[in-house]
Amino acid sequence: MIESFTALVIRDVEGKPRAGFEQLTLADLPDNDVLVEISHSSLNYKDGLAVSGKGRIARRLPMVAGIDLAGVVVESRVPEWQPGDRVVVNGWGLSETEWGGYSRFQRIKPGHLTRLPEGFSAAEAMAIGTAGYTAALCVLALEDWGQIAPGAGEVLVTGAAGGVGSVAVSLLAKRGYRVTAATGRPEQHDFLRDLGVSAFVERAELAAPGKMLQAERWTGAVDTVGSTTLANVLAQTCYGGAVTACGLAGGADLPGSVMPHILRGVALLGIDSVMAPAAKRDRAWAYLAEHLDRAKLAELTTVAPVSALPELARKIVAGETRGRTVIEIA
């Protein structure tokens, strides 16, 4: 087996988290039961915060960054995982409390592994990654709400050209929903139209403070932005509609009112991917396997080497990346 390998490690440098490439050996890895050889990881907003140092994501240092990984089991001390098993990990504290995916090898707790669904390559699984699996959790939550049907009104996706947004757009369009995209980048309209968007809202329009109740426009919405945007989306949601909240690209506050909830019965559905139980993850991956158009997934994906991570981290935090980015490890 390989003697040493490259990993992106975050260390405390004069009181600040700083990311850098290091050579590790297997002896450096944590003492978890399953050793995985990682072929692909991905770039998410949270990875951007961690690697650029713009956010304190790691709760202990040193920490190997990367909240996603896909690869093959090479050694296992538990019967449920065997060498050769194709696996994926999303969240579960990777890059926060558990060493993550920007490394050729990682030792993982058995309960954190998900079997890669048949039909997905490791690269496709990372093209989906945490952002895409979160998009599936959002769409499933809207469908479980039970009052939103394809063909009946518009569904809004905010931060539409980003990772969660672009996968949500693809899934919703494939399911037959009419999708409106809120984006701050008019140059991405053609990209979003190709994914299935039929109308656009200017990001700035939703970022300006609005009335507690506004004209009813959306039967449902997937919000990745938070703050004033989410407050406006709630105020514009139709009677009986629902909005999922998963992100804070525009801010962590929520300066709204109870009016949409108490006068229109609008639901605000919180989405967490990090600690979601295994059954929910399996359901989301099965939904992606059934409903995500592979050609659209390829269209919204960019592939980059590990060496590009520092620059990509800066870009995703600045809102300059589009769709999903796969990181090739091996």
Residue 321 within binding range of ligand NDP, rule CB under 6 A: yes
Which x/- pattern over 125-144 shows residues binding ligand NDP (rule: CB under 6 A)?
-----xx--x----------
Q: Which residues of 228-240 are buried (b: 16+ CB within 10 A; e: fewer)?
A: bbbbbbbbbbbee
3-state secondary structure of 160: coil
Residue 100 within binding range of ligand NDP, rule CB under 6 A: no
Supply the minimum distance, in Å, between the C-beta of residue 48 and ligand NDP: 7
Residue 177 within binding range of ligand NDP, rule CB under 6 A: no
CA distance 28 to 62: 11
Site residues for ligand NDP, 202-221, by CB under 6 A, read 203
Site residues for ligand NDP, 220-249, by CB under 6 A, read 224-225, 229, 246-249
Residue 210 CB contacts under 8 Å (≥ 6 apart), including other chains? 228, 231, 232, 235
Question: What is the number of other CB atoms lying within 10 angstroms of the CB of residue 183?
Answer: 24
Alpha carbon 21 to its chain's center = 24
Taking each helix axis from N to C end, the angle separating 278-291 and 163-174, rounded to the nearest 10 degrees, works out to 60
Residue 7 within binding range of ligand NDP, rule CB under 6 A: no
Cis preceding-peptide flag for 62 (omega within 30 of 0): yes
Alpha carbon 36 to its chain's center = 22
Supply the minimum distance, in Å, between the C-beta of residue 187 and ligand NDP: 9
CA distance 262 to 178: 26
List the one residue from 271, 300, 326, 327 that touches ligand NDP (CB under 6 A): 271
Taking each helix axis from N to C end, the angle separating 45-52 and 309-317, rounded to the nearest 10 degrees, works out to 110
Query: By rule CB under 6 A, what count of residues binds ligand NDP?
Result: 32
Supply the minimum distance, in Å, between the C-beta of residue 135 and ligand NDP: 8
Residue 175 within binding range of ligand NDP, rule CB under 6 A: no
Supply the minimum distance, in Å, between the C-beta of residue 219 and ligand NDP: 21
Quote the longest CA-to-CA distance of the chain: 64
List the one residue from 222, 316, 327, 329 that touches ligand NDP (CB under 6 A): 316
CA distance 263 to 193: 34
CA distance 145 to 134: 17
The answer to whether 100 touches 64, Cβ cutoff 8 Å, is yes
Pick between residue 34 and residue 100 the one whose CB is nearest to ligand NDP: 100
List the one residue from 17, 71, 100, 184 that touches ligand NDP (CB under 6 A): 184
Supply the minimum distance, in Å, between the C-beta of residue 40 and ligand NDP: 16
Supply the minimum distance, in Å, between the C-beta of residue 121 and ligand NDP: 21
Supply the minimum distance, in Å, between the C-beta of residue 31 and ligand NDP: 27
List the one residue from 54, 174, 175, 185 that touches ligand NDP (CB under 6 A): 185
Tell me whether strands 197-202 and 178-183 are parallel, antiparallel or unpaired. Answer: parallel
Residue 44 within binding range of ligand NDP, rule CB under 6 A: yes
Supply the minimum distance, in Å, between the C-beta of residue 3 and ligand NDP: 34
CA distance 67 to 58: 11
Kindly list the residues in this chain that would bind ligand NDP in the complex (CB under 6 A).
44-46, 130-131, 134, 159-165, 183-185, 203, 224-225, 229, 246-250, 271-274, 316, 319, 321
